[in-house]
Amino acid sequence: MERITEKIEDSDYKRNMHFLSVSNWSASELNNATLKATDNLLREQNRMSGLPTGFVVDEKSHLKKGSKSVALAFQYAVEAGKVDNCQVAVHATLANGKFCTLVGTEIFIPEAWINDKKRCDAVGILKKEQKFATKPQLALKLIKQAIEVGTEFDFIAGNGLYGHNAELTRALDNLEQFYILDVHKDETVFLSEPRFSIPECKGIKGRTPINTQPDIKPIQLQAYIKTLIEKDFTNENVRQTAKGWKVAKVHTATIWHWDGQEEKACKRTLVISVCEKIKFSLSNGNIKEYTNKEWAYFQCSRYWVECCFVTLKWLTNFRH
């Protein structure tokens, strides 16, 4: 704060400190203002570039020491690749081509904090926020906020944490939002639509089956990709880099996904891209509605979230 006061003309240290510490302002309203301003800029960019705008959700960890900071706990830190003392937040980014910016943040509050009301009160967490929410639930909250303020975006993207979460994907189906979300290599899918029924009881011993089962076996994505041959892929220019176009081999297919509880499996589009690494994604979009190049563009949009944080880090170091 002292450095900021030195840089900005007619800046008052006490007023700035009051604003950051105890003044009554709404972080969500500030996010909404940023969201609306970015939305207006990207609408114009969309008209000029012809590229669709993505609403990308992702989480980021912030390593810290001590125990006083809000929601600080020993939990998995993405950047460290291990469990460490950190804060974790879910962030939303609007991106169109090479233009992107952060437009929303929801801090993840671990259950240990939620169960300790005195600790929450001590750091100023509002009573209405003192309830546990998973990261996919926080992502859905950010998406709904964006929809409520009239933000225009063409698709939603996110990593495997969100693509694997049936609660989130079914909610997006109900909101009629087009998404392409990453999934892990051990995700299971059906290559044709399965039928479900309760198996007949075998013999007179054992429990009577009560759960429905599919009539065909699913396959893991890491096993499915081994069945593909070169002609099953197309080479696509995904995005521009400092060294030219990033080229990826892209495969798309119609599959069915079942969360193990629903009455029937959901029809999905599987997108596989092979570049530096293999990436799997599932979408509720129609496979015939987009080309492989467009599917690849949707899938790679998570790249821009990290770009935002790299830029912020650079700006912070530059100002210092």
Three-state secondary structure readout of 264-276: CCEEEEEEEEECC
Q: Do 133 and 203 sit in the same domain of this protein?
A: no
CB atoms within 10 A of CB 139: 29
Residue 9 in domain: no
- Rg of the Cα atoms in the chain: 23
Higher-confidence residue of 303 and 62: namely 62
Q: Do 101 and 166 sit in the same domain of this protein?
A: no
- The whole-number pLDDT of residue 116 equals 92
- The whole-number pLDDT of residue 206 equals 65
Name which of 59, 70, 74, 80 is nearest 109 in CA terms.
70
Tally of domains within the chain? 2
Distance CA 156, CA 103 (A): 14
Letter for the amino acid at 15? R
Residue 47 in domain: yes
- Choosing from 153, 182, 203, the residue where a domain stops is 153
Higher-confidence residue of 49 and 183: namely 183
Q: Do 259 and 215 sit in the same domain of this protein?
A: yes
Name which of 45, 238, 60 is nearest 153 in CA terms.
45
Q: Do 237 and 286 sit in the same domain of this protein?
A: yes
- In DSSP notation, 12-46 reads -HHHHHHHHHT----HHHHHHHHHHHHHHHHHHHH
Q: Do 183 and 309 sit in the same domain of this protein?
A: yes
Q: Do 167 and 228 sit in the same domain of this protein?
A: yes
- Choosing from 153, 173, 194, the residue where a domain stops is 153
Summarize the confidence of residues 69-82 as an average pLDDT.
90
Residue 310 in domain: yes
Q: Do 273 and 140 sit in the same domain of this protein?
A: no
pLDDT tens for 95-127 read 887 788 888 899 999 999 999 999 999 988 888
Contact 298, 280 (CB under 8 A): no
Residue 18 in domain: no
Contact 110, 71 (CB under 8 A): yes
Burial class (CB within 10 angstroms; exposed 0-12, middle 13-18, buried 19+) of 147: middle
Residue 10 in domain: no
Distance CA 175, CA 169 (A): 10
Name which of 132, 137, 124, 222 is nearest 171 in CA terms.
137
- The whole-number pLDDT of residue 81 equals 86
pLDDT band, very low/low/confident/very high, at 318 (cuts 50, 70, 90): very low
Q: Do 82 and 219 sit in the same domain of this protein?
A: no
Longest dimension (CA), the chain: 87
Q: Helix, strand, or coil here: 180? A: strand
Q: In the 8-state DSSP scheme, what is residue 317? A: H
Residue 231 in domain: yes
Q: Do 112 and 190 sit in the same domain of this protein?
A: no
pLDDT tens for 189-241 read 999 999 987 777 766 666 766 677 888 999 999 999 999 999 999 999 887 77
Q: Do 108 and 180 sit in the same domain of this protein?
A: no
Residue 296 in domain: yes
pLDDT band, very low/low/confident/very high, at 317 (cuts 50, 70, 90): low
Q: Do 208 and 274 sit in the same domain of this protein?
A: yes
Higher-confidence residue of 304 and 187: namely 187
Residue 60 in domain: yes
Q: Helix, strand, or coil here: 56? A: strand
- Choosing from 153, 181, 200, the residue where a domain stops is 153
Instruction: Tell me the average pLDDT of the chain.
Output: 88
Segments forming the whole domain that contains residue 76: 23-153
Q: Do 140 and 271 sit in the same domain of this protein?
A: no
- The whole-number pLDDT of residue 255 equals 97
pLDDT tens for 157-176 read 999 999 999 999 999 999 99
The tokens for 58 are 């992702």
